[in-house]
A = this chain, B = another copy of it.
Amino acid sequence: MNIKKVLIANRGEVAARIIRTLKEMGVASVAVFSEPDRHSLHVRMADEAVGLEGTTSRETYLDVEKILAAARKTKAQAIHPGYGFLAENPEFAERLEEEGIVFIGPKPEAIRKMGHKTTARQLMTEAGVPVIPGTLEPVRTLEEVQRLAEKTGYPLLIKAKAGGGGKGMRIAEGMNDLASAFRSAASEALQAFGDGDVYLEKLVSKPRHIEIQVIADTFGNTFHLLERECSMQRRHQKVIEETPSVVLDDTMRERMGEMAVRAAKAVGYEGAGTIECLVDENRNFYFLEMNTRLQVEHPITEAILGVDLVRMQVAIARGERLSLDQPNIKGKGHAIECRIYAEDPDNGFLPSPGLIRSFRVPGGPFVRLDSGVFEGAKVPIYYDPIIAKLIVWDETRPLAIKRMVRALGELKIRGIRSNVSFLLDVIQSKAFQTGDYDTRFLDTHWPELKEESEKELPPEDVILATAATVRFRQEQIQRGLGQRRAAGAQASFWRYTPWKALR
């Protein structure tokens, strides 16, 4: 099918990302937007846009009927769900099928099977894909949990059947905290996903989170596009991703890749998806879950392979055949992504919505910024705090790290707080430099990292003198403005910028 118009059922940086590729493909783009998002970048960039009445995610980006109405109104032939929101909702994919609208993603059945964590674990076990020891069925009562916990052994993880992103997940170190871990995981899951089912999993020691990108066309051709190392996490949220992973050699890369292809085939997967794995300190790997959609960190795969994953998604949705050759899929160089969040690392990582007063994008070779904001944008309080992603590539890992440090230094976000200084601390840490980190590294070591971090600041004299000078200059200007105002002069509305007065 020749798709000529695509609605993006998403917002922020990923919606902008998708619109860019659609433009390059000559495909018209339709944005949808909640009321607070009228000024957002994805709306400004799209060819068409439809407002969704309401404010919260539930009222807007999660409302299947409103999104469908927007698609019908604009005659969009396909919907790209991005990540989050409806991206992994099988009912949504099904509704689109009924309406004759192409869902840019896998078939509903594949989403359903992989979305149901315990079903997925069963299917994978059958397909010979290694999974972490634990329960294959959801557990619902404390008695059941206690009985099964004895079998699995401690420490163990209690995880929500639905969802992800660290929500509805608790660690039980032993019998004593099992009950409270179970209760809070189940109640958080119920609140977040409307489904309180949880299951148990053995806690892997020094776990690394390494995932494999897979891509499959509608003819059954399934390939993997190498790995992404995503172990640098804060409270189960990925912070920095890189590829290749320092712990994988070619043999293991091949084995994990084959496993990922097998996993995708087991559910008849179509499109782009990601097999998330845990790798323990002995380099055993276990299937964790499959994300049946575009991943936030997909650009690092694009950087080492020279591909456009969104373009591949659209091509597959159009029924095109993938012409790849697995042995020839070799990455070049090293890529790193930093997620830029609107949060305050100096204040307990509190969210920091508000007006972006100043925004400077880094430039130069092999630096990419995928942003959902701009200078003058207002980051709303209602949605995810991710506002941009910074991706760099270089010939080697040490060079890529230096490039990322330089690019983070150039990136300027003012008016709201961002995690840029935190990212600089993490990427310059010894653990990141040597590659010796696991998924728990940040949660346990961040306080000492922060202590150790030596930011190069100007001499105190310069700071004090500058602050006094800023005030001095402000007073000079205000005096000037006051005189002019008194003299009856009226600043032109259009030409006036406070700073012009100073030049």
Contact = CB atoms under 8 A, between A and B. Distances in A.
A43 B129 CA distance: 57
B364 A367 contact: no
**Main secondary structure on A side of the interface with B:** mixed
Contacts of A494: 474, 498
- Among A333, A365, A369, max chain B CB count under 10 A is at A365
A36 to B, nearest CB: 11
A431 B360 CA distance: 36
Interface string A259-278: 00000000000000000000
Interface string A5-25: 000000000001100110111
Interface string A465-490: 00000000010011001000000000
Nearest to A403: B24
**Count of this chain's copies in the oligomeric assembly:** 2
Contacts of A450: none
A220 interface: no
A481 B493 contact: yes
A306 interface: yes
Given A496-B498, A499-B376, A16 B365 contact: no
A401 to B, nearest CB: 10
A308 interface: yes
A196 interface: no
A406 interface: yes
Contacts of A360: 374
A88 to B, nearest CB: 24
Contacts of A365: 20-21, 299, 302, 308, 368
Nearest to A360: B374
Contacts of A16: 363-364
A383 interface: no
Contacts of A477: 493
A363 B20 contact: yes
Contacts of A45: 410
A410 B19 CA distance: 11
A496 B497 CA distance: 9
A368 B364 contact: yes
A267 B437 CA distance: 51
- Among A333, A361, A376, A481, max chain B CB count under 10 A is at A361
Given A23-B409, A375-B375, A493-B498, A366 B368 contact: yes
A370 interface: yes
A371 interface: yes
13 contacts: A20-B363, A25-B402, A302-B365, A306-B332, A306-B333, A306-B393, A308-B365, A365-B368, A366-B368, A376-B497, A474-B494, A477-B493, A478-B493
Interface of A: 16-17, 20-21, 23-26, 45, 299, 302, 306-308, 332-333, 360-361, 363-371, 374-376, 378, 393-395, 399, 402-403, 405-406, 409-410, 474, 477-478, 481, 493-494, 496-499, 503
Given A24-B403, A363-B369, A375-B375, 7 more contacts: A20-B365, A24-B402, A299-B365, A360-B374, A364-B370, A376-B497, A496-B498
